[in-house]
């Protein structure tokens, strides 16, 4: 990433976990950062934890509402019109057996993991497609998925299905907007040490879901491991990579395949 050129990144789910770590990473790389999440107070706390010499802007709203999501993107781009990076980290982990979970939980998983990223990316492309900068260096869109998309576990069907849908949608999107000067890639974490996963584990007794065991590398992932992969996809070394998936799971999927 060229530190001599003003750049900006838009991060969803930026109040905690992977999203906050990604926001910190871009701030450390001298990016202006727009942080999007559901609630104002957690965002304000997140900003206090970020060391930055550039601009930080928070936008609170329910990104599962299309109008709210579009308004949030418009505000982010009005604040940082030079934004060239969009990273989708917003997520939920509501477990439960498919024949028992409320249909609202199914809908909520798809709203936050699939519909919201598509709505936000459409708004991002619509507002930035006239930028000549993207022709020299493609603008970057990254979605944070999960190994649950290809390695589903009992009691986690809605989450797994929504992440699988995100993967397919983003691989198609990568082809659809490549000629416009955008790359679209997916980072796929395994079990990661985040508040969302911790909350999911604490509430999993009645759902039938159990978290993945330790991977071959002997530890669960950290949010910084995922941020490393996001940084790669947004850097100069990935300007010719699109429609790709980078698995960050300590070898979990490989162990199952073996």
pLDDT of residue 248: 98
Q: Decide if 232 is inside a domain.
A: yes
- Give domain status of residue 2, yes or no: no
The answer to whether position 241 is within a domain reads yes
| pLDDT exceeds cutoff 90 at 203 | no
Task: Of 209, 208, 192, give the one whose Cα is nearest residue 249.
Answer: 192
Residue 44 falls within a domain, yes or no?
yes
Mean pLDDT across the stretch 82-89? 98
Q: What is the CATH number of the domain that holds 251?
A: 3.40.50.720
Where does the pLDDT of residue 201 fall: very low under 50, low under 70, confident under 90, or very high at 90 and above?
Answer: low
Supply the pLDDT for residue 42: 97
Q: What is the pLDDT of residue 173?
A: 99
Q: What are phi and psi of 46, to 5 degrees?
A: -60, -45
Give 10's strand partners. 34, 86
135 band by pLDDT with thresholds 50, 70 and 90: confident
Average pLDDT (176-205) is 83
Q: What is the domain count for the chain?
A: 1
Residue whose tokens read 């071959």: 216
* Encoded tokens for 15: 């109040």
User: Within a domain: residue 88?
Assistant: yes
Helix (H) or strand (E) holding 185: strand 182-189
Q: What is the pLDDT of residues 229-242, one digit of tens each?
A: 999 999 999 999 99
Interhelix angle 116-128/66-79, nearest 10 degrees:
40
What's the pLDDT at 258? 47
In a domain, 107, yes or no: yes
CA distances for 32 relative to 11, 17, 41, 193, 231, angstroms: 11, 19, 20, 26, 15
Catalytic residue among 26, 80, 139, 159: 159
* DSSP-assigned states of every residue in 108-126: HHHIIIIIHHHHHHHHHHH
Q: Is residue 1 part of a domain?
A: no
Domain with 89, as residue range(s), is 7-257
Whose structure tokens read 């906050």? 20
Angle at 195 between CA 189 and CA 163, to 5 degrees: 35
Cβ atoms of 247 and 147 closer than 8 Å = yes
pLDDT at 45 over 70: yes
199 band by pLDDT with thresholds 50, 70 and 90: low
- CA distance between the termini of the chain: 36
Q: Does residue 159 carry a catalytic annotation?
A: yes
Residue 119 located in a structural domain: yes
- Band (pLDDT 50/70/90 cuts) for residue 210 is low
């Amino acid at each position: 990433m060229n530190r001599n050129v003003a750049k900006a990144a838009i991060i969803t789910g930026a109040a905690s976990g992977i999203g906050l770590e990604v926001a910190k990473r871009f701030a450390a790389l001298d990016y202006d950062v727009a942080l999007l999440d559901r609630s104002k107070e957690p965002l304000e706390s997140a900003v206090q934890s970020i060391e930055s010499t550039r601009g930080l802007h928070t936008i609170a709203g329910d990104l599962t509402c299309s109008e709210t999501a579009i308004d949030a993107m418009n505000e982010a781009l009005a604040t940082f019109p030079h934004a060239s990076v969009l990273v989708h980290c917003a997520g939920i982990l509501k477990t439960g057996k498919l024949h028992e979970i409320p249909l609202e939980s199914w809908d909520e998983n798809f709203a936050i993991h699939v519909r919201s990223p598509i709505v936000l990316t459409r708004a991002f492309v619509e507002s930035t497609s006239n930028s000549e900068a993207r022709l020299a260096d493609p603008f970057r869109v990254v979605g944070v998925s999960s190994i649950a998309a290809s390695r589903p576990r009992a009691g986690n069907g809605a989450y797994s299905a929504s992440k699988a849908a995100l993967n397919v949608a983003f691989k198609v999107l990568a082809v659809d907007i490549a000629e416009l000067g955008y790359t679209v890639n997916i980072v796929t974490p395994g079990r990661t040490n985040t508040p969302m996963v911790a909350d999911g584990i604490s509430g999993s007794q009645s759902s039938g879901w159990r978290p993945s065991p330790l991977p071959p590398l002997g530890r669960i992932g950290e949010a910084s491991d995922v941020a490393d992969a996001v940084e790669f996809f947004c850097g100069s070394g990935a300007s010719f990579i699109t429609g790709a998936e980078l698995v960050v799971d300590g070898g979990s999927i490989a162990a199952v395949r073996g």
